[in-house]
Structure 1
Amino acid sequence: MIVMPPFSFLRFALLLLACALQLSATAAAASLQQIRQRGQLVVGVSYVVPEYAAGAKYRTPEGFYNAAAEDLAQRLGVTLRTVKVTAQSRQQLLAQGKVDLLLLNLKQADADTLRARATLLPTSYQARPKLIMRSDTDIKRLAQLRGRSVCVARGGAYVGILAASYGAVEKVVNAPADALLALRTGACDAAVHDDAVLNGMLDLPEWKKFSASLPLDGSPATLTFAIRPADTELATYLQQLNGAWGDSGYWADNRKKWINNVAFEVYLDQNVPDCH
């Protein structure tokens, strides 16, 4: 019979208690019942959109993760709180129950890494980076982006990519409308956003003169829910939600709304002629 010294036994008991408490908190964090009782859904995202300040210009945010999280919270009848996560912190925050789920734009390599410790439920929204310029641009090859200005929206998936890959001078602005406005007025030589929305934007008559593009090296990213493997009830709910979104044209409606809103925001703020 092994007899533990009193101090070792106390440490062992405290360790077991800590593990039990952590497991209990983790299990409760993503239970649909617990979320509803708490009255709040906590979602980990790559960028927390700042709250709208009265009197400020409204700006449609980059990406659809915030809109999707808001829709999920509304369906559950609770409020939404978003928490910023990074590639280094997201698995830990999820495992510790500090977020109920993650909602991230994941490329295949990122998904493979995260799948080792989480259940992934991809939505139907997928996009690649698209670079657009004025139609009369003198930039004809990607190598010519070196030293040229490219506007990207804060919180987007493409911040840092153009500088690292092509030597461009990135101008990080608050929202997509600001990036596209800078392109129209000549403050930026190019802008980069999701092709899923920019392709539709370029169909508008007022954007025909800004339809020059170069293919960027970039694998598609899919907007994906990530949850703890034990949260099977939540997984079932999110699978059903993804199906409902796909059947109802949810993503097509969101893309159309984004295009119209951003185009209108640019129109309202453009007080100088297009730079030709």
Structure 2
Amino acid sequence: MSDFALLPVSLTRAAALIRTTAVAALVGFIVTVPAVAQEAGGWRVGVAEVPPAPEPGAKPRTSARIEVLAGQATAHAATLQAVAQDQVGRKLQQSDLDGWVGVWSATEDLPAGVQRRVLDWSVSPMAIMRTDTDIHQWADLAGRTVCLSADGRYVGELAARHAAIEQVYPSATDALLALRVGRCDAAVQDEGLLRQLLRFPEWRKFSAQLAPERQVTLVQLQRADLSADAVAALHQSVAPAQLQKLAQQQAKSIAFEVYLDQTVPDCH
């Protein structure tokens, strides 16, 4: 029987509780952003990928990338733009973007007029598995199946670095569901997300983990000529405390999405 099936509330009541909590958490996050951010409909914030609007009747899916959630919570959706990394510097320099959040190498040069700020948030690749796994180090992934999400950061990396067999799913929810029902030996996502997910009792059976073998932190880029108020608001929108709140809600939402979709018991 699934661990979720042991919850002492009905599915309907659980759904209502989670939705209420999710709305309250999101509202709580947004109201902590400075007033200038509330009025930032004209800001243009870039991220590597922006999820498409869900099709009518589609199941809800929470983004695997916390910077997408931060951008959606801070600004109007129209201001969040998908910008390929090789275009970021040019767009900022030419004032086509005000800011960008994502993964940026510390050794990569930036054009004049663009500032870099390293954020205190880990998006390092971390793996989780069933507690009875025989995988104890990254090298053990050779020839084993690893569930990844298409909107994550690691597609192609596990195969190239460890000869793993990658199974790519549309979202983190789908990839983690596949892990729970035994379709793969491990799942890899951002460390910040998985640390929060493993706090839930229903994920205790999947708490075996491979700590990140390389450290990756989020980086914020911005135009050097932004006003002081705009800079302060942008900085607060991705402050550690804000990212922590978002990660907690992200993990809660994904855990519940997995719960709703899990129609077979956890693999034993």
TM-score interval, normalised by the smaller of the two chains: 0.7 to 0.9
Q: Is the Cα–Cα contact under 8 Å of residues 93 and 99 in structure 1 kept in the other structure? A: yes
Q: Is the Cα–Cα contact under 8 Å of residues 47 and 101 in structure 2 kept in the other structure? A: yes
What code does the residue aligned with 1:239 have? A
Instruction: Give the 3-state SS of the residue equivalent to 2:196 in structure 1.
Output: helix
Give the one of 220, 235, 239 matched to 2:232. Answer: 239
Structure 1 residue 43, shift from structure 2 partner: 2.5
Q: TM-score if structure 2 supplies the norm length? A: 0.76
Structure 1 residue 116, shift from structure 2 partner: 5.0
Percent of residue pairs bearing the same amino acid type: 36
Give the one of 211, 221, 225 matched to 2:220. Answer: 225
Q: 1:155 maps to which residue?
A: 151
Q: How does 1:51-90 map to 2 (within 5 A)?
A: 51-74=53-76, 79-90=77-88
Q: 1:100 maps to which residue?
A: 98
Q: Is the Cα–Cα contact under 8 Å of residues 127 and 210 in structure 2 kept in the other structure? A: yes
Structure 1 residue 60, shift from structure 2 partner: 0.3
Q: 1:26 maps to which residue?
A: none
Give the one of 44, 50, 53 matched to 2:52. Answer: 50
Whole-Å Cα distance in 2 between the matches of residues 190 and 241 of structure 1?
Answer: 35
Structure 1 residue 254, shift from structure 2 partner: 1.0
Structure 1: 5+ residue stretches without partners: 1-32
Structure 1 residue 241, shift from structure 2 partner: 4.3
Whole-Å Cα distance in 2 between the matches of residues 242 and 52 of structure 1?
Answer: 29
Structure 1 residue 177, shift from structure 2 partner: 0.7
Q: Is the Cα–Cα contact under 8 Å of residues 143 and 166 in structure 1 kept in the other structure? A: yes
Q: Is the Cα–Cα contact under 8 Å of residues 131 and 206 in structure 2 kept in the other structure? A: yes
- Equivalences, count: 230
Cα distance, 1:219–1:124 mapped onto 2, change above 3 Å: closer
State the structure with more CA Rg.
Answer: 1
Q: 2:260 maps to which residue?
A: 268
Over the aligned positions, Cα root-mean-square deviation in angstroms equals 2.5
Q: 1:126 maps to which residue?
A: 122
Structure 2: 5+ residue stretches without partners: 1-35
Whole-Å Cα distance in 1 between the matches of residues 78 and 122 of structure 2?
Answer: 23
Whole-Å Cα distance in 2 between the matches of residues 241 and 46 of structure 1?
Answer: 17
Give the one of 133, 137, 144 matched to 2:140. Answer: 144
Structure 1 residue 102, shift from structure 2 partner: 1.5
